[in-house]
Amino acid sequence: MTKAKAGTFLEVSWEICNKVGGIWTVITSKAGQMKKYYKDRYICIGPYFAEKVIGSFEENPAPKECREFCKELEKQGIILHFGKWLIKGEPRAILIDFANFRFKTDDIKKELWESFKIDSLRSNYVEYNEPIVWSYAVGIVIQKLYDTFDHKIVAQFHEWLAGPGLLYIKKNNIDVATVFTTHATVMGRALASAGIDLFSKPEKDKYKVQLIDIDKESYNYNTEAKHLLEKKAAENSDIFTTVSEVTGLEARYILRREPDIILPNGLDNNKFPTFEEASIEHRTHRNHIREFVMYYFFPYYQFDIKNTLFFFLAGRYEFKNKGIDIFIKSLAELNNKMKKEKSKKTVVAFIWVPTAIRGIKLDILENRTLFKDLKDGLQEESDEIDRNILYTMASKKKLNKENIFPKNFMDETKKRLMKFKKKGKPPLMTHDLQQYGDMVTDLLIETGLDNKKDDKVKIIFYPIYLTGADGLLDLTYYESMQGGHLGVFPSFYEPWGYTPLEAAALGVSSVTTDLAGFGKFILSKKKKKYPGIFVLERMNKEDKEIIGNLTDFMYKFTQFTRHDRVKNKIEAKKLAEKADWKKLSVNYIKAHNKAVQKRYKNKENSKNK
């Protein structure tokens, strides 16, 4: 095992004990491995929000060696909370309450401008101000820890939100090795959201991103403060890292620095089911989804539920970046192809993308109630029906409804079925949205995906978070994926892309792209007959070609036998194991060691012990 050269590792992120997005997943899933390298010298530093730490942070008294400087900092408005983060490995954590330090906001901005030319004149909003005040306080705290400890320290800062802490260390020449990690560049995301293909080649030897004056363009997107902070943090760190080759290429042109090392994101596969467990859970959750699909569609018309595949896309509502547009257009072509060939299969495609809603559609609630009534009626008579089947079979009589179902049951069931029946078409979405003109529903209607009876591809836009208690599916995010057959994530901009990796860890086949960090990671692995995770080429490709290729693959998937699907599930699970933190965490140690070597080179003092 590679040995860590630093005595203490400080991991700095706005998402320590403060779940916001993907960085929380990165840090929490690898914390156990970091503890193996650094033991109790692995310390996480994050913000203190009283309402968010409940159940996730166990506070302890400040260590004796820190109590004196804690009192000093409190006078400045910086209050420290020491304890442990209640995740796997239970790492030590220092959470900073910066509420009484906010008065320094303008002074911090002024210093960042004078020392690093970070223009934050137009950034007078909470989303920017809160993190920079907190992070600047982090820099002060690290200085105190440096003065207290007698060994080498490496501090890793995640994203622009932690940038001021790193720049404080740089400006004050504090002898702490620094690593800066960008998970997605500010301007990369902004430009991609505007539909700009960063890696298209309008000129033979140049990417589109090379032809843009990024610093100047950041003002057009009102992101100059974040962008310049991110750029200066990358520039002034001892070691600069990104989470993927794709983001590394992006950083090269947007931040003007190539990463010193790539830190691919991983998972703790111990938290995921074995393949045998996943197979059982797939059947359980698939059957649950089948029931939901039956009461969603069957009041209007019926299809063979046992010959139906469940495809899904899940993620943030980033219409272009997440490839939602490509998914819908490809589904429309798939629908036309399956209709033309009179396929006996049906595809139900879920779009699990949260947005603002008013509530569940009343028709669906009514359908659910009537379906439950049908199901309860059957369960009440199940013992009698079982006995009738057994007696009929034992008597060698012909099985028919007259000698299986009690007459009163048949009469009641007919009444229930009449109530269950509806005219018209099933809705496209489960909930009424707060606003009209929704991009997802507009494109569905435009492409003819409106849940007609003869459509082979049915759509369910599910615009809420999958909590496991939403009143409809009542499945968690992972359970919903486990019940599906294929996850489709045709991302246009995806620095890493955890969703296909999570799907693989759950034993579910998926599609990613070569514009996603994880997609590039998978491409480096040996291709097999059953790849498990399919990589769609999007780099330097026109939408028409991309849509055609995705359509062809989804059609091919509908032709797979059950044996083919199982083989792909097995391979997906194997690929997920290649992205386990047990294998990938060493990259963090390599980055730390490079930073230590660079920072402490040719220095002979007590910190080098």
Residue 561 maps to a domain = yes
Residue 604: the pLDDT is 53
Q: What is the mean pLDDT of residues 37-63?
A: 97
| pLDDT tens digits, 173-189 | 999 999 999 999 999 99
Residue 579: the pLDDT is 94
Number of domains forming the structure of the chain: 3
Closest CA to 593 of 125, 261, 229: 261
Calpha distance 609→15 (Å, rounded): 31
Q: Which of 382, 415, 448 is the last residue of a domain?
A: 415
Closest CA to 468 of 453, 483, 478: 478
Q: Are 510 and 572 in contact (CB under 8 A)?
A: yes
Residue 478 has pLDDT above 80, yes or no: yes
Shared domain check, 437 and 509: yes
Shared domain check, 391 and 300: no
- Find all residues with CB under 8 Å of 377, minimum gap 6, and list them: 409, 412, 413, 416
Q: If you average pLDDT over every residue of the chain, what do you get?
A: 95
Calpha distance 160→181 (Å, rounded): 9
Closest CA to 86 of 63, 58, 51: 58
Residue 609 maps to a domain = no
At residue 169 the predicted structure's pLDDT band, cuts being 50, 70 and 90, is very high
Angle made by CA atoms 338, 339, 343, in degrees to the nearest 5: 55
Gyration radius (Cα) of the chain, Å = 28
- Which two tokens mark 251? 């950083």
DSSP state string for 359-423: EE-HHHHHHHHHHHHHHHHHHHTHHHHHHHHHHHHHTTPPP-HHHHS-HHHHHHHHHHHHHH---
3-state secondary structure of 458: strand
Q: What is the mean pLDDT of residues 244-262?
A: 97
Shared domain check, 543 and 466: yes
Q: What's the CA dihedral at 58, 61, 65, 68 to 10 degrees?
A: 120
Residue 609 has pLDDT above 60, yes or no: no
Sole residue written with tokens 């802490």: 165
3-state secondary structure of 166: helix
pTM score > 0.95 for this model?
Answer: no
Residue 420 maps to a domain = no
| pLDDT tens digits, 74-121 | 999 999 999 999 999 999 999 999 999 999 999 999 999 999 999 999
Residue 2 maps to a domain = no
DSSP conformation class of 554 = H
Residue 518 maps to a domain = yes
Residue 253: the pLDDT is 97
Residue 153's φ and ψ, nearest 5 degrees, are -125, 135
DSSP state string for 78-134: -EEEEEEE-STT--EEEEEE-GGGGGGHHHHHHHHHHHH----TT--SHHHHHHHHH
Shared domain check, 494 and 564: yes
Residue 393: the pLDDT is 86
Residue 598 has pLDDT above 60, yes or no: yes
DSSP state string for 290-353: HHHHHHHHTTT----GGGEEEEEEES-S-TTTTTHHHHHHHHHHHHHHHHHTT-S-EEEEEEE-
Shared domain check, 442 and 333: yes
| pLDDT tens digits, 115-139 | 999 999 999 789 999 999 999 999 9
Shared domain check, 455 and 370: no
Residue 342: the pLDDT is 96
Shared domain check, 298 and 212: no
- Which two tokens mark 343? 């396929």
Residue 526: the pLDDT is 63
Shared domain check, 595 and 549: no
Shared domain check, 327 and 455: yes
List the end-to-end C-alpha distance of the chain, in Å, as a whole number: 20
Shared domain check, 102 and 51: yes
Angle made by CA atoms 498, 501, 502, in degrees to the nearest 5: 80
- Which two tokens mark 505? 């860890």
Element (H, E) at 186: helix 186-193
- Which two tokens mark 62? 């400040």
Residue 370 maps to a domain = yes
Closest CA to 535 of 544, 574, 526, 266: 526
Shared domain check, 214 and 106: yes
Shared domain check, 185 and 283: no
Closest CA to 115 of 169, 71, 54, 188: 169
Q: Are 401 and 388 in contact (CB under 8 A)?
A: no
Element (H, E) at 524: none
Calpha distance 191→211 (Å, rounded): 13
Residue 603: the pLDDT is 65
Q: Which of 415, 442, 458 is the last residue of a domain?
A: 415
Residue 146 maps to a domain = yes
| pLDDT tens digits, 291-346 | 999 999 999 999 999 999 999 999 999 999 999 999 999 999 999 999 999 999 99
The sign of the torsion formed by the CA atoms of 76, 82, 87, 91 equals positive
Q: Which domain holds residue 411?
A: 362-415
| pLDDT tens digits, 189-198 | 999 999 999 9
| Residue 195 falls in which region: left (phi positive, over 0), alpha (psi -120 to 50) or beta | left
Residue 333: which CATH number? Answer: 3.40.50.2000
3-state secondary structure of 183: coil
Closest CA to 368 of 420, 408, 328: 420
Residue 1 maps to a domain = no
Calpha distance 299→159 (Å, rounded): 50
Pairing of strands 153-158, 8-12: parallel
